[in-house]
Amino acid sequence: MQLKHLYELKLLPQEQVSFAVTPGKKSPRSDSHAGIAVFKIPGAGSYRVSIDMPFWIDVVHDGALVAANDFQGQHGCDSPHKIVMFDLQGGRPFILQLSNAAPQSVRLTITAAPARKL
């Protein structure tokens, strides 16, 4: 996946997905769908994963979940429905894990977060 590009991912029933690590949300709802994707970043910084549906979002690096440092969501809004921000270090690829949702597809994009002004 590339930054600043809108993707539509087709998902599978969650029990058919082999996650890199166990998702952060441990109790999937019945009939959940899930998927994984790999992405790279140009350098260290804060990055936002934005999706149009209510999914659980995890980022995996070096075999461990990366802690989210911020998130926001809008009920009744599809574009975007949820945004989760992660502080990521450049280098190796990251794995994006989406899980615990009813829809069979999701639109998503990954963008660098703007610098915060104090």
Q: Global pTM?
A: 0.86
CB atoms within 10 A of CB 63: 8
pLDDT confidence of residue 90: 76
Does 88 fall in a domain?
yes
Does 66 fall in a domain?
yes
Does 85 fall in a domain?
yes
Does 2 fall in a domain?
no
**Number of domains into which the chain is organized:** 1
**3-state DSSP assignment of residue 95:** strand
Domain with 61 in it: what CATH number? 2.60.120
**3-state DSSP assignment of residue 99:** strand
Does 118 fall in a domain?
no
Tokens of 22: 């166990």
Does 1 fall in a domain?
no
- With bands split at pLDDT 50, 70 and 90, how would you rate the model's confidence at 118? low
pLDDT per position as a tens digit, 7-66: 999 999 999 999 999 998 877 778 899 999 999 998 999 999 999 988 899 999 999 999
pLDDT confidence of residue 55: 86
pLDDT per position as a tens digit, 75-117: 555 556 788 999 998 777 999 999 998 889 999 999 998 876 6
- Domain range for 95 is 7-21+31-112
